[in-house]
Chain A
Amino acid sequence: MENAIAWIFIFPLFGAVACTLVGMYNRKWCHPISVLSMIGATWAGVETLIKVMNSKSHELSYLLGGWTLDQYPRGVGIEFRADLLGALITLVVLGVGLIVSLYSKIPVEEETPGKESLFFTLFLLQITGLAGITLTGDAFNLYVLIEVAALTGYGLIAIGSNRAAAATFNYVILGTIGASLYLLGVGYLYIKTGTLNMVGIREVIEANALADSPSMQVAFILVGLGILIKMAFFPFHAWLPNAYCNAPTTTSCLLAPLVTKVMIYVMIRMVLTVFGVDFSFESTLWTKFLPWLVVLAIVCAAVMALAQREIKKMLSYLIVAEVGYMIGGLWIYNYYGLIGSIFHIISDACMTLCLFLGAGLILRKARTTHFDGLRGLFAKMPLTTSGFFIGGFSIIGLPPTCGFFSKWYLITGGMVSGRWEYLIVLLFSTMVMVVLFFRLIERMHLAVSENGENLGHGHGDLGLTEEQTKFEEGPLSMLIPLLLAAAVVLVIGVYNQDISTQIEHFLADYDLPRGIEP
């Protein structure tokens, strides 16, 4: 297909319009429309990735409006650029969107009755925004798309309960500050380089040796800080747990796996494509101190996750810790660390999806995601809990799930770059995750209350009524997407080589240190 990149946007964008229009007459059509748009978009995403992989330069460019790239600095106009990294992450965004849209029918009808058309419109626009972020080749256009994703995100969260509105307000404030800082940084870049095209900016920086310019340093700090706030890097994480916990099920399933991960992609893109490896790692102090902030971030997030007694809250803090993993992988300035970081974007999206889909099903059946309501859940919903724990094992990093492989590269990166603090904190948080998930397994499996009392009468009696432990899975339209997500977690693990080879191809263009000899 000639314009695969364009189709990625056309499907969800026009799907959103169709949702609004059709929704005025019959709300029932909104869900099928969103599923169909997502199928179309995912297909276009696959097509794009294949084309990128097959092209000689591993790059695909789509210029909006027929301008040319010939002039120096690259002219003003919107370019969509799909390289291997962009195409891979786009496919993750679209794949997650597809699975969530399949899952969404029942929760949306139950949780936000009467607002289906609004919900699916926002849903598809959110996908448009996120996919746009991962594909755009223009720094200002990136800002616009970040705002598209953010605004629809606010809507998607606030559409739920009343408590969500307060959480959204918090999110709006911090999100706006983050985006504004980014925009300010882009302003500096434009003044200094005279272009907004990502590759163009780097060419100007390199050609004119702007690395020593103080305004470039300021631009870098503004852009970096803005992105860190948007991705909920500790200590800028305060908006995230409340927003994800109080949001409707479908929203948290969509936003939790994608938003933070896409922002990490943006940071990698900024470092590699916009500012360039030399400038980002050599001319700034970030490589020196950011890994230490990562240590702080991971430890704090892990400890806070330990303190939670509610699955969704716990998962939210896990996301904050995982953000630390990926930022660490980037800023230890090492080839393997960066492979790990990029791989972890992919695998973390899949496993977080798996966990949130599972949490949604548990919430619907058990009416709570608080730890105290979980006893006997293995007997009641064996498939749901198994799917959930495949995601959990992946977070811990047990083979052969995809989480093992990304953690493998991160650990390797920490070791070969001699960043022992990062390595140790990775292992520490791994152990915390072991505790988190096996504590949940205990809760669902054992007849023991939290303070150690034996419940029931021994011999596997959980101290529950027969009704409470009867086999009763959630609806298939929700269960199948969960199992699909769990399967994806395993399949990515099994075919990890194919993904990491693509990442290696992508990183071949950049000169990254491979580490020290022992």
Chain B
Amino acid sequence: MSAALPVEQMIPAVDLMAPLILTDVRPLVALLTPLIGLLGIVWAGERRSDLREFFTFAAAIIQAGVVLSMVPLLLNGAIIEFQIWQIFTHVPMLLRVDGPGLLFACVASILWIVTTLYSVGYMRGLHEHAQTRFYSFFALSLSATMGVAFSSNMLTIYFFYEMLSVSTFPLVTHMQDKEARTGGRTYLGYLLFTSLCLLLPALSLCYVWLDDGQAAMDFLTDTGKIGEFSQSVQIFLLLLFTFGFAKAGLMPFHSWLPGAMVAPTPVSALLHAVAVVKVGVFCVYRIYSDIFGTEVLQRMDGEDWLIGIACATILISSFIALSQDNLKRRLAFSTIGQLGYVVLGATLATERGMGGSVLHIAMHACGKITLFFCAGAIFVASGKKYVSQLRGLGRKMPITMGAFMIGSLSVIGLPPLGGFVSKWYLALGALDRDAMWVVVVLLISSLLNIFYLLPVAVTAFFQTEETEENSGLKEAPMACVVPLAFTAIGCFALFFFSGPLLLLAGISQ
């Protein structure tokens, strides 16, 4: 079936079964770069804004460089490890770079560069306050994101997960007004409630009982150990873990995401379409793929229910998105639905489903960040926030709206755009499990995606009544337009050069 993909012949045959483990400091460097950048950002401060932005750029570029430099090693079948600290006697804080982690890290760090450029345009265009704080906490969040991507066991991932929750709070409440307070409260309420009250007991239960309390819950070596527990405990743990990572936005713990849309658009774009939410689904993926493992999951009763929850999330959020007029909120609900895809892929517990879910992290990131960039660019250029106001904007802002169109099509999942590849593998994963109904859900959801995303661009291009307010409009500043054009092109690139991605996602041909 995968013969439909053009580049697969180029993929070298690699034996992924026996990875070569290298010790290398690079994952730590990727983690520390934003922190060092942060010092520079704070030092430069509000008065030397150019220097401050230089530090952000430098950190982003160095980080992306370091992350990308690890790709060739990984493609040759190696795995990179670096130990920082001993959390408990049997649990190290170990950074490990494997395929899915590196793929996620690549996406986050490359898009950080783009977002930084966009932030400069956006924040300066709107004369935002407290930009130093904004860039500082942005850097901190990216450090935490790298930490999650490179974590090798549950406790390590939990540490970075919490660090991300706290470090994004000042970004969500950036506007410092009443709306920001409400958004921030919902945000932290959901994230800390789930992580402290669901996740922490589950973790503690696993660490104290698995292997007589000697298990590190390592993603590589402890896969499937959870099978020691009885069936009821297993399903209980699976529920706690799945909902505990509320950043994954699985219903009913999704409301924080629309609430977090009060943040400035660069935050919504990178964090609430890429870094934070993807951290959530990535953690869920780790749980399913590396803690439980496909074998245990397939033997488990009641695991189907979680597929059902993921499907329900996909459909319900799509319906809600249909009714949203605020563009950013519509995108937020769309994100919840797309996150549901990733969780769905993990719950399918088949090799291609898991791979599809990792791919979807990358593909959706590129598509959705484009959409958010466009929403922000429209806001900077015209101050418009609502879909119904966009009439005729296509003429005035052709690049922005064109990019929006491409992003929409990628999220919908049409070839030749990246979103198609991951949806394809998700569907294959469902078929491997003989779950025809999941494929039907995917189709219905794609249809709904068309209904809520395409009208935005269509309204902008084809309803061309010239209104008074639109007369003086032009494209947003270059710093805003270039990034969104770049990510829109990226959506194509991800389709045509998906070979290495497939390899990193662990899909064997």
Residues of A in contact with B (beta carbons under 8 Å apart): 336, 393, 396-400, 408, 411-412, 415-416, 423, 427, 430-431, 434, 438, 441-442, 445-448, 452-454, 456, 458-462, 494, 496-497, 501, 515, 517-518
Q: 29 pairs across A/B with beta carbons < 8 Å? A: A396-B192, A397-B200, A398-B162, A398-B166, A399-B158, A399-B162, A400-B159, A408-B200, A412-B204, A412-B208, A416-B209, A423-B201, A431-B192, A431-B193, A431-B197, A438-B169, A445-B176, A446-B173, A447-B176, A448-B177, A453-B178, A454-B178, A458-B175, A497-B89, A517-B209, A518-B205, A518-B209, A518-B230, A518-B233
Establish whether residues A446 and B166, one from each chain, have CB atoms under 8 Å apart when the complex forms: no
Chain A positions within 8 Å of B177 at CB level:
446-448, 454, 458
Chain B positions within 8 Å of A431 at CB level:
192-193, 196-197
The reply to whether the CB of B86 lies closer than 8 angstroms to some CB of chain A is yes
Interface of chain B: mostly helix, strand, loop or mixed: helix
Q: Hey, what's the 0/1 contact readout for B75-95 against A, CB within 8 Å counting as 1?
A: 000000000011111000000
Establish whether residues A501 and B184, one from each chain, have CB atoms under 8 Å apart when the complex forms: no
Chain A positions within 8 Å of B47 at CB level:
none
The reply to whether the CB of B384 lies closer than 8 angstroms to some CB of chain A is no
Contacting residue for A460 out of B130, B158, B207, CB 8 A: B130
Chain A positions within 8 Å of B188 at CB level:
434, 438
The reply to whether the CB of B180 lies closer than 8 angstroms to some CB of chain A is yes
Establish whether residues A427 and B196, one from each chain, have CB atoms under 8 Å apart when the complex forms: yes
Establish whether residues B178 and A459, one from each chain, have CB atoms under 8 Å apart when the complex forms: no
The reply to whether the CB of B402 lies closer than 8 angstroms to some CB of chain A is no
Chain B positions within 8 Å of A496 at CB level:
87-88
Contacting residue for B201 out of A427, A442, A445, CB 8 A: A427
Establish whether residues B197 and A430, one from each chain, have CB atoms under 8 Å apart when the complex forms: yes
Contacting residue for A459 out of B85, B88, B128, B173, CB 8 A: B128
Nearest CB of B to A501, in Å: 7
Chain A positions within 8 Å of B88 at CB level:
496-497
A461, B230: Cα distance in complex, Å: 57
Establish whether residues B229 and A518, one from each chain, have CB atoms under 8 Å apart when the complex forms: yes
Chain B: interface residue total (CB-CB under 8 A): 41
Residues of B in contact with A (beta carbons under 8 Å apart): 85-89, 127-130, 158-159, 162-163, 166, 169-170, 173, 175-178, 180-181, 184-185, 188-189, 192-193, 196-197, 200-201, 204-205, 207-209, 229-230, 233
- Going nearest first, the 10 A-B pairs with the smallest beta carbon separation are A460-B129, A459-B129, A427-B197, A399-B159, A412-B204, A447-B176, A446-B176, A460-B130, A454-B177, A411-B204
A323, B350: Cα distance in complex, Å: 49
Chain A positions within 8 Å of B200 at CB level:
397, 408, 411, 427
A434, B176: Cα distance in complex, Å: 19
Nearest CB of A to B158, in Å: 7
Query: A442: nearest residue on chain B (CB-CB)?
Result: B181
Known: A412-B204, A458-B177. A393 touches B166 (CB 8 A): yes
Establish whether residues A462 and B201, one from each chain, have CB atoms under 8 Å apart when the complex forms: no
Chain B positions within 8 Å of A452 at CB level:
178, 181
Establish whether residues A416 and B208, one from each chain, have CB atoms under 8 Å apart when the complex forms: yes
Establish whether residues A445 and B170, one from each chain, have CB atoms under 8 Å apart when the complex forms: yes
Chain B positions within 8 Å of A336 at CB level:
208
Chain A positions within 8 Å of B130 at CB level:
460
A453, B85: Cα distance in complex, Å: 46
A415, B207: Cα distance in complex, Å: 12
- Among B89, B177, B201, chain A packs the most CB atoms within 10 A around the CB of B177
Contacting residue for A501 out of B89, B173, B180, CB 8 A: B89
Establish whether residues B196 and A408, one from each chain, have CB atoms under 8 Å apart when the complex forms: no
Query: B203: nearest residue on chain A (CB-CB)?
Result: A408
Establish whether residues B158 and A462, one from each chain, have CB atoms under 8 Å apart when the complex forms: no
- A438-B169, A441-B169 known; 10 other A-B pairs, CB under 8 Å? A397-B200, A398-B166, A416-B208, A427-B200, A431-B196, A452-B181, A460-B129, A460-B175, A462-B176, A518-B209
- Among B88, B127, B181, B208, chain A packs the most CB atoms within 10 A around the CB of B208
Nearest CB of A to B505, in Å: 29
Query: A438: nearest residue on chain B (CB-CB)?
Result: B188
Establish whether residues B204 and A415, one from each chain, have CB atoms under 8 Å apart when the complex forms: yes
Chain B positions within 8 Å of A518 at CB level:
205, 209, 229-230, 233
Chain A positions within 8 Å of B181 at CB level:
442, 446, 448, 452
Chain B positions within 8 Å of A412 at CB level:
204, 207-208
Nearest CB of A to B83, in Å: 14
Chain B positions within 8 Å of A427 at CB level:
196-197, 200-201
Establish whether residues B176 and A460, one from each chain, have CB atoms under 8 Å apart when the complex forms: yes
Establish whether residues A494 and B85, one from each chain, have CB atoms under 8 Å apart when the complex forms: yes
Chain A positions within 8 Å of B197 at CB level:
427, 430-431
Nearest CB of B to A72, in Å: 40
Known: A434-B188, A446-B176. A515 touches B208 (CB 8 A): yes
Chain A positions within 8 Å of B170 at CB level:
445
Establish whether residues A430 and B196, one from each chain, have CB atoms under 8 Å apart when the complex forms: yes
Chain B positions within 8 Å of A416 at CB level:
208-209
A393, B200: Cα distance in complex, Å: 15
Nearest CB of A to B215, in Å: 14
Nearest CB of B to A411, in Å: 5
A459, B130: Cα distance in complex, Å: 8
A458, B175: Cα distance in complex, Å: 7
A228, B188: Cα distance in complex, Å: 36
Nearest CB of A to B135, in Å: 14
A72, B176: Cα distance in complex, Å: 71
Query: A416: nearest residue on chain B (CB-CB)?
Result: B208
Contacting residue for B208 out of A398, A415, A442, A458, CB 8 A: A415
A399, B230: Cα distance in complex, Å: 30
Chain B positions within 8 Å of A430 at CB level:
196-197
Chain A positions within 8 Å of B209 at CB level:
416, 517-518
Known: A497-B89, A501-B89. A411 touches B201 (CB 8 A): yes
A460, B176: Cα distance in complex, Å: 6
Chain B positions within 8 Å of A441 at CB level:
169
A501, B185: Cα distance in complex, Å: 38
Known: A434-B196, A501-B89. A442 touches B184 (CB 8 A): yes
Establish whether residues B230 and A434, one from each chain, have CB atoms under 8 Å apart when the complex forms: no
A441, B137: Cα distance in complex, Å: 15
Nearest CB of A to B283, in Å: 15
Nearest CB of A to B172, in Å: 11
A454, B175: Cα distance in complex, Å: 11
Chain A positions within 8 Å of B233 at CB level:
518
Chain B positions within 8 Å of A442 at CB level:
173, 181, 184-185
Nearest CB of B to A491, in Å: 12
A397, B158: Cα distance in complex, Å: 12
Contacting residue for B178 out of A408, A448, A460, CB 8 A: A448
Query: A407: nearest residue on chain B (CB-CB)?
Result: B200
A453, B181: Cα distance in complex, Å: 11
Establish whether residues B86 and A497, one from each chain, have CB atoms under 8 Å apart when the complex forms: yes
A396, B197: Cα distance in complex, Å: 12
Chain A positions within 8 Å of B178 at CB level:
448, 452-454
Nearest CB of B to A397, in Å: 7
Query: B213: nearest residue on chain A (CB-CB)?
Result: A514
A459, B129: Cα distance in complex, Å: 5
A399, B233: Cα distance in complex, Å: 26
A181, B130: Cα distance in complex, Å: 58
A462, B128: Cα distance in complex, Å: 14
A147, B62: Cα distance in complex, Å: 62
Nearest CB of B to A367, in Å: 24
A452, B130: Cα distance in complex, Å: 22
A448, B182: Cα distance in complex, Å: 11
Chain A positions within 8 Å of B229 at CB level:
518
Query: B128: nearest residue on chain A (CB-CB)?
Result: A459
Chain A positions within 8 Å of B185 at CB level:
438, 442
Chain A positions within 8 Å of B162 at CB level:
398-399
Chain A positions within 8 Å of B169 at CB level:
438, 441
